[in-house]
Chains A and B, each alone.
Chain A
Amino acid sequence: MSKAGEDAKFFQRGKIEEFRKELQEAETKDKKFIKRKTALKKIVANITMGNDMSPLFPDVVQCLVTPSLEIKKMVYLFLVSYGRSRPNQVEYVIPAFLEASDCHDRNPLIRALAIRTMSYIPLQAVLEALVDPLRASLRDKDPYVRKTAAICVAKLFFHDAVLVERESFIDMLRDLLADANSTVVSNAVAALMEISERSDKISLKLNFTVANKLVMAMGECSEWGQIYILDSLLSFVPQTCQEAEQLADRIVIRLQHANSAVVLTSIKVLLFLMNYMDNKKVIEFLCRKMGPPLVTLLSSGPEVQYVALRNILLIIQRRPTVLRNDVKVFFCKYNDPIYVKLAKLEIMYRLAREENAKEVLAELQEYATEVDIDFVRKAVRSIGRLAIKVEPASDMAIQVLLELIDNKVSYVLQEAVIVIKDIFRRYPGKYEGILPKLCQNIDVLDEPEAKAAMIWVIGQYAFRIDNSEELLDDLLYSFLEESAEVQLSLLTASVKLFVYKSNSTRAKDLVHKVLKWATEEVDNPDLRDRGFMYWRLLAISPATAGEIVLAEKPPISTDTDRMERGALDQLLLHTGTLASIYHKNPETFIRNARGKALVDSPALNENSRRVLISLPDAYMPGPAPNIPPPPTPSTKPRSTRDTSPDSAGDVSNPASPAVGPPVPHDPYANLESVFGGAYDADVPRPMTDGPGRRGTVVDDEDLLF
């Protein structure tokens, strides 16, 4: 008997002919079917290696009659792999076979195996033949067969929805929700969820009684079953606050489960139910209960930690009391994987406030000397954002930034300059003392964003920097080669300089030179138009020009980098899923995915109703593949990450209009601009098949069959 554990030798590429011969030889003198087993193992290994074994179809199918479970399972694997590509042969063999033996086997494991395997072969003939055995299996006396049959209905629906509806399998599935066996119940729930996810006609809706029963059954389910049931509870809409509270009360204990997916899914349900509560005490209690289990998720494997961290980032925006005092647990360990570190950093920033700012800053300073460049840059940015967010910490943050500048590491310096510009805007007149230090390091700056920031600083504070003409003149040498971002800020800075120092001939020459370049030598229409505008402005009335160019700018704040409430409520319905990793609704990045939204009911909390986002009536599928998402409007004049303080708004109309209400259908559209620029680079996001990537990425179409 070939013992398992010695199969490695079968991992060799072989020829169809050899295998066929081996199988034929095995038909005689094959005691205990050892020859057949060996041949089949070789074939399975070859399937794995990507060798096409489908020509062996008739030979392999012959083995199906062998009375050995091990052989049967290998043949089934073969059928599942190649059934689709050999419709004619399958049609001959399988249906008859199904009728004849396995589905009526006395052994429940074999009955289940038969329908499970057959339902993997999406051929009309097989599916038709499956109908009767499946109906019998759904009423089988053995729970193992019933739980397998429940999933089979979902499979069948995936391939042929009409057939499932015609044979009224959905009703049978619904009946299984009341099955005595909890595993059967949870699989039926999973199947119904899958079906309602795909169907326009069928959708799972639970009332309080059913929801309650499912929750009761959960105690007896496997951990996976618990997750399926928890997931389904989002199809229940509480009609009174009591309903929501009662259900939440029963679910809270699941937070103690060892499986992190059970914990996260429970949290999803609790967050959902909290929208339908009005008792502040209960909500507080639930928030308090959620914190510790979330922290415990951080002692799981790094992958689960990552999932947890991305979710925590969302949860604390919506329920700020959760983890309010736990910033320390998010401090990075030196050997955390980079994705964990980056996610922790974001949370640290969110949880920072006056009381803990000192600790957080010290920690960020530590990170700023590590080796991973992305991580270091993000740490430096976070220091700057912290200074803007927590006013009492700004002195210390500036101190830290200055120390970092002294280290003279190029990318740290560039990051520091970018954030200091924002700090200047946030606290005008407070930190200009550090200008000389910044000016010393101009030569190191080579990234457009950092350069533009520095140029803005020079222009804005031209009157305080003695050699501002000289500095700007140096920077102007390469004007024509610079990126548009830098050119624009050079242009504006030169105008500011001239306004400040209108008596200086050098400033006059400078501005003249730049305006000439901008209007005559550059193709960029933005730059040209802005050049013309300044030129005329200065020509008509230098005094007015000064008023406009140096108008008081609106202070920046960090309010805008919090996600909009209604959008958050909606996104939190996807807690624990892929959508929660990317912080995007699934319909925006997965084709055919369904959106979710809170459903209004008498119990819906006033606060949640006010920001309620409902799904468009007609179901809108996600964007087709290969079409990059529409460019995100960057109309957030007051955001911290507004990288172009010199943009037209600054020139023409300082009080540029505030952000309008979000576009109803995609409230997240403008979120990406929140962190703007390079800062965005490490934000997890699905890859689209943009032009830059073509060639390395297989087209989405190609991933289909």
Chain B
Amino acid sequence: MISGFFIFNQKGEVLISRLYRTDLRRSIADVFRIQVISNSDVRSPIITIGSMSFFHVRINNLYVLACTKNNANAALVFEFIYRFISIAKSYFGKVDEEAVKSNFVLIYELIDEIIDFGYPQTSETDTLKLYITTEGVKTQPAPEESSKITVQATGLTSWRRADVKYKKNEAFVDVVETVNLLMSAKGTILRADVDGHIMMRAYLSGTPECKFGLNDKLVLDKSERGVQGAVELDDCRFHQCVRLETFDSDRTISFIPPDGEFELMKYRSTSNVNLPLKIIPTINEIGTTQVSYLVSLKANFNNKLNATNVVIRIPTPLNTTNVDCKVAVGKAKYVPAENYIVWKIPRMQGGSETTLSGTADLTAMTHRQAWARPPIDVDFQVLMFTASGLLVRFLKVFEKSNYQSVKWVRYLTKASGSYQIRF
């Protein structure tokens, strides 16, 4: 298991170092600095030197590192680092050098609590916040109160306090779908799939028992495929709070939610994906001096909806000197530093169509190398639309005090860096 936990800044200075085992020394940080931080060509998030293995994750300008000297569970180590990052985010907003330095005592306190002898322990933010607070400990918690904490930290619903109270009981459900598209130059879809996340913000009093329902025709097993009009999910995964046994037996999603925001469910769908934006590029190299562009864009969804923050990055050859392009909607600009034409459209109505046309001038190169033609990349957001067709049918809340609760559901389909069209 984990022998040491470190945080470095970009310069390789140690911001946090905590050893859990005596099989390493603090100077191990130097090895990491030489092998990874000052190495311009790091080709793996895991390196093993001698018997020591280094697992690192980069976030903003930081390196978060866990070291181990045994055959550790690599997935667990990375999941733990991710979890640390999300706990840190929840405690002090952002995770960067500034934040780590400003909260280093708190971080030491946290990492003492969430790992013991290299074994990850309680890592539910909600519970941790009961006894590790940013305000410093004003008074020591009374023993009775501490017992409540310890029971929760080790108990059945370690993610929720018992005494949550709200005047108004509300639950917000956000269905967020990320569309991944890879289209070949010939216009065939190589892959199109949806990574869905159902985020929930629960502001509910007491210990509410929730039941969650999706589309009536929801197919989860490949063998049942082919049902007309059904939404087919390839796989779904649930937050720790969801009772997997019940889901397995009768497909109902039942749980006692943590207080506040959490990710209830993740899913993946590869069939019947509705692609919200259609891009048809016609890009030709004219001799060795010019490239002509004609990129048309169609919003392929209900005209009552809008796509927002549409950003299309159209690659240009490395030896481009100047780009002249025209667009009817939005703004297009050549960004020489990134070798892209960036076309931004703040809002685009469903059903509408628009094009970009232009030419790029190239300089002559003595050593001509073929242009690698990286794919066109599109980012966008469409509210109240799901590419998979998934809908939330109901969210029921049962609590012994029988209060009324208000539920809100939002849908968002987006792409960022994963909607790619080759040409």
Q: Which residues of A contact B (CB under 8 A)?
A: 1-8, 10-11, 37, 41, 44-45, 48-50, 67-70, 73-74, 76-77, 80-81, 84, 105-110, 112, 116, 120, 122, 142-145, 147-148, 151, 154-155, 158-159, 181-184, 187, 190, 194, 197, 219-220, 222-224, 227-228, 231, 252-254, 256-261, 263-265, 288, 292-293, 295-296, 299, 301-304, 306-308, 328-329, 331, 333-335, 338-339, 342, 359, 362-363, 366, 369-371, 374, 407, 409, 574, 576-582, 586, 589-593, 622, 625, 682, 684, 686-689, 696-700, 702-705
Contacts and interface: CB of A to CB of B under 8 A. Distances in A.
Nearest to A593: B71
B44 A108 contact: no
A80 B27 CA distance: 16
Given A143-B150, A147-B121, A303-B57, 10 more contacts: A69-B140, A105-B143, A183-B155, A222-B240, A253-B247, A578-B68, A582-B48, A586-B71, A686-B53, A703-B50
Given A224-B123, A293-B237, A307 B48 contact: no
A2 B105 CA distance: 11
Nearest to A338: B43
B21 A158 contact: yes
A221 B377 CA distance: 42
Given A143-B154, A148-B116, A580-B74, A705 B22 contact: yes
Given A67-B140, A682-B43, A686-B48, A44 B105 contact: yes
Contact of B268 (A219, A296, A328): A296
A116 B68 CA distance: 20
Interface string B406-423: 000000000001101010
B49 A181 contact: no
Contact of B104 (A44, A223, A366, A580): A44
B51 A625 contact: yes
Interface stretch (B95-103, B278-286, B349-357): B95-103
11 contacts: A3-B134, A3-B136, A8-B98, A48-B16, A70-B109, A231-B73, A261-B79, A265-B75, A292-B234, A578-B68, A593-B70
B74 A578 contact: yes
Contacts of B369: 409
A331 B103 CA distance: 41
Contacts of A593: 51, 70-71
B45 A306 contact: yes
Chain A's interface: helix, strand, loop or mixed, by majority? helix
B31 A703 contact: yes
A600 B248 CA distance: 32
Q: Which 5 A-B pairs have the closest CB atoms?
A: A144-B150, A700-B50, A292-B235, A686-B48, A586-B71
A155 B118 CA distance: 10
A369 B373 contact: yes
Interface in B219-238: 222-223, 234-238
Contacts of B104: 7, 10-11, 44-45, 48
Nearest to B191: A328
A256 B120 contact: no
A6 B102 contact: yes
A625 B240 CA distance: 41
A252 B235 CA distance: 13
Nearest to B151: A143
A154 B389 CA distance: 50
A688 B24 CA distance: 18
Question: Which of the four size classes fits the interface of chain B?
Answer: 35 or more
A7 B101 contact: yes
B51 A700 contact: yes
A81 to B, nearest CB: 8
B103 A697 contact: no
A252 to B, nearest CB: 8
B1 interface: yes
B337 interface: no
Contacts of B180: 333
A538 to B, nearest CB: 46
A120 B182 CA distance: 51
B268 A109 contact: no
Contacts of B70: 197, 586, 590, 593
B30 interface: yes
A2 to B, nearest CB: 7
Contacts of A304: 75, 78-79, 82
B237 A8 contact: no
Interface of B: 1, 13-17, 19-31, 34-35, 43-53, 55, 57, 68-76, 78-82, 92, 98, 101-106, 108-109, 112, 116-117, 119-124, 131, 134-138, 140-143, 146-147, 149-151, 153-156, 158, 180, 182, 184, 190-191, 193, 195, 222-223, 234-240, 243-245, 247-248, 263, 265-266, 268, 270, 369-370, 372-375, 377, 417-418, 420, 422
B148 to A, nearest CB: 10
Residue in B16, B237, B248 with the greatest tally of chain A CB atoms within 10 Å:
B237
A3 B106 CA distance: 10
A10 B107 CA distance: 14
Contact of B25 (A7, A374, A705): A705
Contact of A333 (B92, B112, B182): B182
Nearest to A218: B244
B143 A107 contact: yes
B76 A261 contact: yes
B423 to A, nearest CB: 11
A697 B31 contact: yes
A684 B44 contact: yes
Contacts of A302: 45
Most chain-B CB neighbours within 10 Å: which of A112, A222, A253, A577? A222
Given A4-B106, A265-B73, A307-B74, A106 B143 contact: yes
B78 A301 contact: yes
A256 B122 contact: no
A84 B22 contact: yes
Contacts of B240: 222-223, 257-259
A472 B70 CA distance: 53
A228 to B, nearest CB: 7
B102 A261 contact: no
A3 B51 CA distance: 41
Considering residues B79, B236, B263, which has the most beta carbons from chain A within 10 angstroms of its beta carbon?
B79
Given A1-B136, A334-B420, A697-B49, A183 B82 contact: no
B266 A296 contact: yes
Contact of A3 (B68, B135, B370, B422): B135
A148 B121 CA distance: 9
Contacts of B235: 292-293, 295-296
B51 A581 contact: no
Contact of B44 (A335, A339, A589): A339
Contact of A159 (B22, B80, B92, B270): B22
B130 to A, nearest CB: 10
B239 to A, nearest CB: 5
A145 to B, nearest CB: 7
Given A258-B263, A582-B48, A700-B51, A369 B102 contact: no
Nearest to B57: A303
Contact of A4 (B28, B134, B140): B134
Contacts of B78: 260-261, 301, 303-304, 307
Given A108-B146, A256-B238, A7 B71 contact: no
